[in-house]
Amino acid sequence: MKKKYRITCICQIYNELCKDNLERFVKYVLPAIDNLVVYDDGSTDGSYEYMLKQTPHVLRGTKNDFVNERSHKQLMLQEALKLNPDFILWLDADEVLTANAAEKLQELCAKCEEDQYDAVNMHEINIWRSHSWQRLDSLYDKGWFCRLWRVVPGICFKDTKPGLHQPLFPSTIRNVMWTLDVQVLHYGFSSQQRLAYKYLVYKSHGQRGYDMLDRLISEEKLVVAKVPRELFPEGLWLDDDEPKSMTFLESLTYVEEYRAEVFKPRFSIVCLVYKSVAWLKFVYEQVFKYTDMSDKEFFFVANDANPAVLSYLRDNYIPHYVFENTPEQQKEWYVNNVYRAYNFAVSKAQGDFVIFINSDMAFTPGWMDSLWRAYNGENCVTSRLVESGKLRSGQYGVERDFGRDYSSYQEKEFQEFARDLAEPKLLDGGLFMPLLIRKKHFEQVGGYPEGQVLLGSDFDHPVIAKRGEACISGDTVLMLKLKTIGIKHQTAFDSLAYHFQWGELDSSETLAAVPGKMKVAVCNDFLTGSMGEEVLRNFHLESLPASVSIDRHIVGAEGDYATKARNYIRGHCPEVEVILQHATYVNTVDESRYTIGFLQDNLRAMGKPNNQHEENLRRANKLVANSIQTAQSYPEYDFEIIPTGADQEAKQKWHRLLMSAFKELMIAKFKDKKEVKRHKVSIIITTFQRTHLLRWGLYSLSLQTMPFEFETIVVNDGLPDETEEICNEFKEKLNLKYIFTGQRNLNGKSIWRVPGFAINIGVKQSSGDILVMCCAEMLHVNQTIDRLTKPILDNPKLMGIPIGKDDRTGALLECINKNNGIFDLPTFNNCVDLTTTMPFLIALHRSQFMEIGGYDEDFIGIAYDDRDFMDRLLKNGCQYCQTDAMTVHLYHPRADGYYEGGGPPEWDYNKNLFFSRIGQIVRNEGREWGKL
């Protein structure tokens, strides 16, 4: 009887449903394998939910990270190895295997085992803009990829640095066989849509040139051939006509048609506003201050808004839609008009997900990321609210007054309170905003009812209640309707927002429009183009709000136009933020302002290179070309295509372009502020043959919420044991870097040394301004890292120490081993107290570590190194700060009686060195220390 080899397939996906890849993949790949492991790279189109129904082994990344494919493959490989496969098959979602794959894969596995091959290379057939034609020219028929990997001890991706075009097979593979018995049908080039996606995504990641980019769509050398029908799995063959060659311009034209689809926002944050410019400004800044806006849109719905609000939105290029209820509707209970406006907002949202917020809310770092992380395909997720107390709060809400309006808001105090309150927990129910919901789910149930619903009314045909009647809120009705399609309402306890309650409703109305400030300068000296045509027509001034036209009529005919225009802006309209200028014949007007360069004269095509022209293109923040032909001559740049003209479509494109420019400016504004104040924490963990304890330490760290940028560095100063494998399990979650420093032990003899050497190396390899030094055997009981570091944010001379317990008997370790990391309180309380003034787990500022020269590397014996280090920190002005962070030193055998009678010579050496250097604060002077 033939051996049946177990094959696990790994596949990375990102928004594959919208490209029609997943159904084909599942139908034709699953029958040939035993298990499927998927890494979803932040899909929002439903791909993640779809794959959850096909396999239980779905890993999820919450943010698209296209360039880290090797790292993702390592994660999938680790997950696949848990299923005990004999072989790993790697395929992408736009690929399937040729006919009779199940049988032929088994034959290949047997051949690999018999002849000791590590892997199998398979040929790739690239289906080209059709269902049945393959491309043969330009190396398209030369693709061979390492697809089937034999599982051997140590199989892994050793180097998982980010980047495109890296080897996509394990580093351990050496001996490879080649086969045509099974081939890969690749559908990634089979339609204009898929080609456009690849071209635009690769270009956005900096790929340029024919081989790295243009080859994806260039068809000047196109040669295609019919793929033999017998190669297709049963049911996949579809006959069609031969694709005809397209010019490169034609290819670029269809690519441009898909640009909006490829780069559309994945999330839409929506907010209503109607009477207060002050609240509008407040919430707009709050969102940009605390949200990564890279894949999101944020727009307001001006809901029966007054002229001042409309004017401010328009003149500041803030994305918005105007919604007006009928006069009859405006007489109804105001909440009816609110629900109608939110339904209208969803109809305008471009994102796959909608996030509803109120105009009287303030946010915390990571609030949005936490909502998205909590989404599981079967829920809608709300933030936990801290509310002012103006009104009674609801389920999970916390009443704490940090201000009743924007002018009295105590932001710093709220942020500190929120950091302590946040916890990684997801519970059913809760309040109703901020709310993250899949747009499809919202529309499937018909959205909000148009008001509060009369008690006892049918939710599908609701009777809208009048003020004073017994009713159910429209928010509650939405959640009940969602429940009927299997969508739970849940609250993420690590997503926190502050709710002022009735902020805009209770505020004074902004009665008059704020005097307009010029935001955009249209700069053109009225030179004509190469054909005598007008450039940057005057229609810009007529159609663009808050804009000023600056030409020779304004600044004078003599002298350098750019210099005079720059001086005019600085003297007459210094509030201008964006300059829209011609990219030819005039110098860059003002490099200190955001510049959009408009390219109309194709000097390269005319054979008239111009240094001024080229310099303008390099300096511009954003570029616009009047045609694809013009853009084609400048392939190193990204262009928006807006034809010259005054038609409505061109005006809308210019307006959208300027809104995107002002969005970039808002992002940059708060990015700069964050970079000034942002702290980064480096968690330094040293280990020496403590693998079983290190795993629990890293596991307990992985459960924590980190409200700041952080990295984890594990320094193995022992032997090349399971430490690296354990670290790889937590690599993504803990942003973990593994360093081996035990080269001295590789000759077969284990040579112990004080951990200070490894700590010095870890610190030198770290980049955080706050250090958390931690032993491998420390179990983190609560939000230890956050609580330890909090005091140091404002005072670099403080050292955060925890409340510590010492598991001397091993009872607590036994408990967590039996209960998957969970222990009971009596066992914890029975542990003896740990002396936490020693650096088992301690946080300090990097500057203090460096000022004293780190650990003294003359301590080459045993003990006294920690005592010396802490004494020097204290003498350098540092102070202990007791925090409520809690930790347990897990059990490991101790050297009882080791130091009785004076200890060994190594102990005496360090002891004598310690006492001889008391008072000398700085060590390791005149030499390189912490050397890797």
- Of the candidates 603, 631, 624, 531, the residue with the CA atom closest to the CA atom of residue 249: 631
Residues 443-464, mean pLDDT to the nearest whole number:
90
Report pLDDT for 533: 46
Provide, rounded to the nearest whole percent, the portion of the chain with pLDDT above 70.
95
Predicted confidence band at 180 (pLDDT cuts at 50, 70, 90)? very high
Instruction: Answer yes or no: same fold for 264-504 and 678-916.
Output: yes
What is the C-alpha separation between 59 and 732, in angstroms, rounded?
Answer: 11
Predicted confidence band at 901 (pLDDT cuts at 50, 70, 90)? low
Predicted confidence band at 67 (pLDDT cuts at 50, 70, 90)? low
- Do 281 and 289 form a contact (C-beta atoms < 8 A)? no
At 694-751, the pLDDT tens digits run: 989 999 898 888 888 899 999 998 888 888 889 988 888 899 999 998 888 887 777 7
What is the C-alpha separation between 249 and 629, in angstroms, rounded?
Answer: 7
Check pLDDT > 80 for residue 168: no
What is the C-alpha separation between 282 and 91, in angstroms, rounded?
Answer: 48
- Of the candidates 890, 932, 898, the residue with the CA atom closest to the CA atom of residue 691: 890
- Of the candidates 543, 546, 547, the residue with the CA atom closest to the CA atom of residue 513: 546
Check pLDDT > 80 for residue 567: yes
Predicted confidence band at 161 (pLDDT cuts at 50, 70, 90)? low
Report pLDDT for 203: 84
Find residue 578's DSSP bridge partners: 520, 594
Report pLDDT for 528: 43
The fold for domain 264-504 equals: Spore Coat Polysaccharide Biosynthesis Protein SpsA; Chain A (3.90.550)
The set of residues, in sequence order, having a beta carbon less than 8 Å from that of 793 and lying 6+ positions away, is 679, 770
Token readout for 625 is: 């070309």
The fold for domain 7-259 equals: Spore Coat Polysaccharide Biosynthesis Protein SpsA; Chain A (3.90.550)
- Do 580 and 522 form a contact (C-beta atoms < 8 A)? yes
558 CB-side CA count, 13 A = 0
Predicted confidence band at 165 (pLDDT cuts at 50, 70, 90)? low
Check pLDDT > 60 for residue 527: no
Check pLDDT > 60 for residue 160: no
Check pLDDT > 50 for residue 296: yes
Peptide bond into 327 cis (omega under 30): no
What is the C-alpha separation between 727 and 698, in angstroms, rounded?
Answer: 8
Check pLDDT > 50 for residue 68: yes
At 792-821, the pLDDT tens digits run: 887 889 999 999 999 989 898 988 888 888
Check pLDDT > 50 for residue 130: yes
Report pLDDT for 860: 86
Of residues 169 and 226, which shows the higher confidence score?
226
Q: Are strands 453-454 and 471-472 parallel, antiparallel or unpaired?
A: antiparallel
Report pLDDT for 162: 56
Kindly report which listed range (239-248, 627-636, 753-762) carries the lowest average pLDDT score: 627-636
Check pLDDT > 90 for residue 228: yes
Q: Three-class SS of residue 61? A: strand
Report pLDDT for 608: 82
Report pLDDT for 676: 44
- Of the candidates 283, 637, 558, 323, the residue with the CA atom closest to the CA atom of residue 434: 283
What is the C-alpha separation between 34 and 7, in angstroms, rounded?
Answer: 5
Check pLDDT > 80 for residue 86: yes
What is the C-alpha separation between 256 and 195, in angstroms, rounded?
Answer: 11
CATH for the 520-667 domain, from 2.60.40.10, 3.40.50.720, 3.40.50.300, 3.40.50.2000: 3.40.50.2000
The fold for domain 678-916 equals: Spore Coat Polysaccharide Biosynthesis Protein SpsA; Chain A (3.90.550)
Residues 485-497, mean pLDDT to the nearest whole number:
96
Report pLDDT for 531: 42
Q: Three-class SS of residue 495? A: strand
Report pLDDT for 532: 44
Predicted confidence band at 316 (pLDDT cuts at 50, 70, 90)? very high
Residue 210 backbone dihedrals phi, psi, to 5 degrees: -65, -50
What is the C-alpha separation between 309 and 302, in angstroms, rounded?
Answer: 8
The set of residues, in sequence order, having a beta carbon less than 8 Å from that of 764 and lying 6+ positions away, is 929, 930, 931, 932
Tell me the average pLDDT of the chain.
88
Report pLDDT for 691: 84
Q: Compute CA distances 281 → 80, 292, 304, 535, whole Å.
A: 49, 18, 18, 35
| Amino acid found at 648 | Q
DSSP category for residue 3: -
Helices (H), 132-187: none
Residues 389-400, mean pLDDT to the nearest whole number:
94
Check pLDDT > 80 for residue 526: no
Check pLDDT > 90 for residue 332: no
Judged on CB neighbours under 10 Å (0-12, 13-18, 19+), 740 is middle
- Do 525 and 583 form a contact (C-beta atoms < 8 A)? no
What is the separation, in whole angstroms, between the first and last Cα of the chain?
A: 54
Kindly report which listed range (402-406, 452-456, 641-645, 806-810) carries the lowest average pLDDT score: 641-645
Check pLDDT > 70 for residue 692: yes
Check pLDDT > 60 for residue 390: yes
Check pLDDT > 80 for residue 648: no
Domain ranges of the chain: 7-259, 264-504, 520-667, 678-916
